[in-house]
Amino acid sequence: MSKDMVVILTALNLEYQAVRAKLASPQGHLHERGTRFEVGTVLGTSCRVALGLTNKGNHSAAVIAERAIQEFSPAAVLFVGVAGALWDTARLGDVVVATHVYAYHGGTSEDDGLKARPRVWEAAHGISQLGSHLARVNDWADETPVRGRAPQVRFGAIAAGEVVQNSKISAQARWIRQHYNDALAIEMEAAGVAQAGHLNGAPVAIIRGISDRADGTKSSAKDRSWQPRAAANAAAFATRLAVELVREQEHSPMSQAGRALASDGRTAGVTNMAHNSTVGIMAGVVKESSVHVQGGPGAAGPADLVAELDDLRRHLTFHHAEGALDDDTHREALAELETARRAARENNSESSRKATMALKRLRGLVAEVPELVARLRPLVVAAGDLS
């Protein structure tokens, strides 16, 4: 994972330009399949941002988000842009940060009507907590308030569909009101990005500036005047969030321990503070109540990682037999595990990236099985340390 890198994606050029204006010296970065990104730093900081354009729609957004995660292994993915407000809960120019995302077009058509079968993705807890803190501090907006009112940050559900919603009285509007009445905003890309983040184990935040009320006024003069303001507000909050995310990564206890270990090359000690409980940890030496982890190069080589991956295969098979993993998930999980295993055996920087991303995708596949997620955490770290 690149602890100093955040990916920011947008669907529209107007949104892209609003984010780009916040970056210093953006440089082009070409993906091998032709997707273009720009990489720069947030003005006045060391936070790196890889900026990309997905175009409209959940499907396109999912593909580009997946590609960006694979290419950059970012600390987080932020999807930034404009959206329509629902039920007059957010004012024009306000910023809505998704606590969860509805893919609201899921359903089944039956004799007595259309029944909702939505998919839902919750925002990463750490990002939600940090976003709430920044909203309370309320020093992120850098523009003169319009008509004397500063934009506010609101937290709630965002509904993501496949059509432009521009009516309050259509059948679609009534459907959304009936099944998703807690949604604050509506748009067309969040579900795709959330799914890509989920499958790759990458934290995702959806940040939207309110440019219209989804009430028939899209493309009006008022909407055209509010779009750039809403996009700028979303970009301002998103880049501030990106800076703080990177700062937290760099100052996390694990990062500090890693830096201390790298600086002096000695063994790092981890003290066991648990009482009357069992602690499981991969360690070199255990002495009384202290656990000493072997440090330095070669502490956990590719052979060790391959052995751990082979052991993980046994646990995947067990949970599949117990019914915790369905057949499709089990098959996909084994494929990702084999990809990681092959990459670990190659033991170079490129294979390290491949192994890490395969294990992150695997973690997304088994996210509902806590024991497997816990087993994967140290393996993702170990894969990232291969060289």
Tens of each residue's pLDDT in the chain, 387 residues: 677 899 999 999 999 999 999 999 999 999 998 999 999 999 999 999 999 999 999 999 999 999 999 999 999 999 999 998 887 777 899 999 999 999 887 777 787 777 777 788 999 899 999 999 999 999 898 755 555 578 999 999 999 888 777 667 577 777 778 778 888 999 999 999 999 999 988 999 999 999 987 666 666 666 678 899 999 999 999 999 999 999 988 776 544 444 443 444 443 444 444 444 444 444 444 444 444 444 333 344 667 888 888 889 989 888 888 888 888 888 888 998 998 888 888 877 787 888 888 888 888 888 878 888 888 888 888 887 765
Q: What backbone torsions phi and psi does residue 338 show, to the nearest 5 degrees?
A: -65, -40
DSSP element (H, E) containing 304: helix 302-321
Q: What backbone torsions phi and psi does residue 244 show, to the nearest 5 degrees?
A: -70, -35
3-state secondary structure of 375: helix
Query: How far separated are the first and last CA of the chain, in Å rounded?
Result: 14
3-state secondary structure of 241: helix
| Cα(347)–Cα(387) distance, integer angstroms | 6
Q: Please say whether the beta carbons of 384 and 356 come within 8 A.
A: yes
- What is the SS3 string spanning 123-163? CCHHHHHHHHHHHHHCCCCCCCCECCECCCEEEEEEEECCC
Query: What pLDDT, on the 0 to 100 scale, is given for residue 82?
Result: 95
Nearest to 77 by CA among 159, 195, 160: 195
Q: What pTM, to 2 d.p., does this model score?
A: 0.67
Query: What pLDDT, on the 0 to 100 scale, is given for residue 115?
Result: 77
- The answer to whether the Cα torsion of 86, 89, 90, 95 is positive or negative is negative
Query: What pLDDT, on the 0 to 100 scale, is given for residue 27?
Result: 95
Query: What pLDDT, on the 0 to 100 scale, is given for residue 263?
Result: 44
Q: Please say whether the beta carbons of 57 and 189 come within 8 A.
A: yes
| Cα(96)–Cα(142) distance, integer angstroms | 17
Query: What pLDDT, on the 0 to 100 scale, is given for residue 133?
Result: 95
| Cα(266)–Cα(279) distance, integer angstroms | 23
Nearest to 53 by CA among 98, 10, 116: 10
Our CA dihedral for 264, 243, 30, 355, rounded to 10 degrees, sits at 50
Query: What pLDDT, on the 0 to 100 scale, is given for residue 305?
Result: 85
Query: What pLDDT, on the 0 to 100 scale, is given for residue 281?
Result: 41
Nearest to 178 by CA among 83, 87, 109: 87
Which tokens belong to 372? 């497997």
